[in-house]
Amino acid sequence: MSTVKIGNKQLGTGQPCYVIAEIGINHNGDIDLAKRLISVAVAAGCDAVKFQKRTVEIVYTEKELATPRPNPFGETNGDLKRGLEFGQEDYEEISDFCKQVKIDWFVSPWDEPSVDFIEQFDTPVYKVASASLTDDNLLKHIRKTGKPVIASTGMSTYAEIDHAVSVLGKENLILMHTTSTYPAKYEQLNLRAIPNMIERYGVPVGYSGHETGIPTSIAAAALGASCVERHITMDRAMWGSDQAASLEPNGISRLVRDIRLCEQSYGDGIKRVYEEEIPVMKKLRRVGAAV
């Protein structure tokens, strides 16, 4: 299986797990909060942060935007969606800040104009959200950029994933196993899909977790996930639809730490006696029981 390069990092078999801190819309439309979350990701040792970009009038119908939904930005769903969107100055600030703190950043674009908008920032990769996996026009438009693609496969059948892979091609492609519920139930995470997808598609496969805890995301890395993505928040009790399925600063730090500890522990698979074991062996083995 070939590796995929994102920024200056290689993803694939034998490479360190690439950890993505999904900020998404957890910034609640506040650029200062977004920068605080970026700083949390840097402090935790994450490799990248990710946002979402939508052209609201393209992604949602007029009826949906007019639907009553009281929120901090107004009284309709449209007020909410527009309030959560960052614009030109915001993304310029995000780009400058990420360069300053030396962390990759990229987005999940939900429509073609959003791809065109983000192109000005020369981000290293694009992410296809699970909801967009069947949007052939968007997939083709993203591929025209020549950037690597990370494609999430939540709420998708193998037939739908097969089709998306045929549209995207396998070059510079990373698939992400995920379960699209927020938060996700442990009995529905189905982590064994990760090695199955690696075998089926022959490309790096990652894991995007929406569960409330940490151990299963570490298990995903141990099962072969080339990258792991988790939403982050300053406080899971904050207002917002994704906060409850996110990790707080201590949680994302523990996740990265434990993934790195697991990577140190994998070894080469050859059973051996380490030098440090010899004194223990001499002390504990029964006299005369040596082979």
pLDDT in tens, 42-73: 999 999 999 999 999 999 999 999 999 999 99
Tokens encoding 281: 């062996």
Reference 59, options 89, 81, 88; nearest CA is 81
Tokens encoding 17: 């797990």
Q: How confident is the model at residue 240 (pLDDT cuts 50, 70, 90)?
A: confident
pLDDT in tens, 174-185: 999 999 998 999
| Cβ atoms of 11 and 174 closer than 8 Å | yes
pLDDT of 288 over the 90 cut: no
pLDDT in tens, 106-155: 999 999 999 999 999 999 999 999 999 999 999 999 999 999 999 999 99
Distance CA 232, CA 242 (A): 9
Q: What percentage of the chain has pLDDT greater than the value 90?
A: 92
DSSP β-ladder status, 173-178 and 126-128: unpaired
By CB neighbour count within 10 A (0-12 exposed, 13-18 middle, 19+ buried), where does 217 fall? Answer: buried
Residue 135 carries which side chain, given as an amino acid letter?
A: D
Distances (CA, A) of 169 to 89, 133, 184, 187, 268: 34, 13, 29, 32, 32
Q: In what order do the strands lie in the sheet with 18-24?
A: 104-109, 48-53, 18-24, 227-231, 205-209, 173-178, 149-152, 126-128
> Average pLDDT of the chain?
95
pLDDT at 1: 67
Average of per-residue pLDDT across 6-28: 95
pLDDT at 290: 67
Note the Cα 198 to chain centre separation in Å: 17
Distance CA 194, CA 177 (A): 6
Distance CA 247, CA 259 (A): 15
**Half-sphere exposure (Cβ direction) of 159: Cα atoms closer than 13 Å:** 0
Average of per-residue pLDDT across 200-208: 97
DSSP helix/strand/coil, 192: coil
Residue 257 contacts by C-beta under 8 Å, 6 or more apart in sequence? Answer: 45
Query: What is the reported pTM?
Result: 0.94
184-211 residues labelled b (16+ CB within 10 A) or e (exposed)? beeeebebebbeebbeebebbbbbbbbb
How far apart are the two ends of the chain, measured CA to CA in Å?
42
